[in-house]
Structure 1
């Protein structure tokens, strides 16, 4: 059997969005969904949606659409969501504590098996029902839980040393919320989430629109158009 071609990273990101939409539809009792509906809810065009789903093999039925539960389960299988993923989080400031306390990760198959901070004042606190551990215990926790995903929510100046610690302990994927680019060994995937950059982009787009009166803005077609879905926590 020929191995399935690798799915591009950008497509994988969109598959995760389709999975979120399909899960919501399934929870609402929907049996089928058209490509147009699914594309609109995911913020893509139908042609792009069909191209993304072509990586999964035959999915829909012409004139009928996609079976919601079937497509949801297929995408979940491709994304590896049939098994739980052990994660560790470093940095229990305001952002890190919010991430650790967010309950939606569990329903998506992600479990924080270790929370770590270098501050003695934070070590021992309970966040999201889990104790905050000292950094000295990081290697042991990663080894015993086989955690492969690390989340960095530290200040920028310590993010690189934390990245080095995580990769040395055996973590293979890192989600970085610190506003700094990280250097990781070959074979370690790093995804950057810089909230300030996202806000700057939105500010630029808002400025491009030009001044609009409050009444005119409220009555404009854009004000009643559904917002484009983004990678929010839902």
Structure 2
């Protein structure tokens, strides 16, 4: 299978969540057009994305919802568990730690780190918050797959450097700053201000 872009993965995850909802409603099949209407994607984009996974649908019938969900999940969840480490146990970090949806997608936050000694050594939703100084040793020991940065802007590059030094190749960055990382490290930037303004602009068109 060819390399799949991060945008495609995001669309596939949206489709998986939609298919789960349709299964709960008792639906059996759906067309690419029907899936497009629910997700807000285009019919062409749906068919193009699904074509990455071989022949799945039935002509003039559409996709078996359960079968399609299985195929998409097998791609997304090639590993049994995707291990995540989190930097920052402030308001945003706590919200991430308490989010219940990770378990459904086999994402597991294995450790969190914070410089504030009042926050370290606490356990939030089953995840222990460690002092920042222990990060490099514990990250290597955890064999984490993704590093999440939820720290203030001025500390984000230092955290990114530490994540890279630990050998992690995927970073989700909530800090409003462009990180400098080696080309083999993938960074997904999530600026909430930009997301909110984009949503407003989309609705205003």
Kindly tell me: are residues 164 and 120 of structure 1, through their superposed partners in 2, closer, same or farther at Cα, counting changes over 3 Å? same
Tell me whether 1:184 sits opposite 2:184 in the alignment. Answer: no
Kindly tell me: are residues 63 and 204 of structure 1, through their superposed partners in 2, closer, same or farther at Cα, counting changes over 3 Å? closer
Kindly tell me: are residues 137 and 27 of structure 1, through their superposed partners in 2, closer, same or farther at Cα, counting changes over 3 Å? farther
Kindly tell me: are residues 81 and 99 of structure 1, through their superposed partners in 2, closer, same or farther at Cα, counting changes over 3 Å? farther
**Does the Cα contact within 8 Å between 2:77 and 2:106 map onto a contact in 1?**
no
Out of 88, 109, 126, the position equivalent to 1:129 is 126
1:92 maps to what in 2?
Answer: 89
1:40 maps to what in 2?
Answer: 37
Shift of 1:81: 4.9
1:114 maps to what in 2?
Answer: 111
Residues 1-58 of structure 1: per-residue CA shift (max 9 Å, x gap): xxx2222332222111111111222233322112121111111111221111111111
1:51 maps to what in 2?
Answer: 48
Separation in structure 1 between the aligned mates of residue 59 and residue 158 of structure 2, nearest angstrom:
52
Shift of 1:187: 1.2
**Does the Cα contact within 8 Å between 2:161 and 2:181 map onto a contact in 1?**
yes
Aligned length: 205
Shift of 1:145: 2.0
User: Structure 2, unaligned stretches of length 5 or more?
Assistant: none
Tell me whether 1:160 sits opposite 2:157 in the alignment. Answer: yes
The two structures have a TM-score, normalised by structure 1, of 0.82
Kindly tell me: are residues 75 and 171 of structure 1, through their superposed partners in 2, closer, same or farther at Cα, counting changes over 3 Å? same
**Does the Cα contact within 8 Å between 1:87 and 1:112 map onto a contact in 2?**
yes
Kindly tell me: are residues 205 and 22 of structure 1, through their superposed partners in 2, closer, same or farther at Cα, counting changes over 3 Å? closer
User: Structure 1, unaligned stretches of length 5 or more?
Assistant: 210-234
**Higher Cα Rg: structure 1 or 2?**
1
Report the secondary structure of 1:92's partner residue: coil
C-alpha root-mean-square deviation of aligned residues, in Å? 1.6
Shift of 1:202: 3.4
Tell me whether 1:28 sits opposite 2:25 in the alignment. Answer: yes
Report the secondary structure of 2:110's partner residue: strand
**Does the Cα contact within 8 Å between 1:123 and 1:133 map onto a contact in 2?**
yes
Tell me whether 1:201 sits opposite 2:201 in the alignment. Answer: no
The two structures have a TM-score, normalised by structure 2, of 0.93
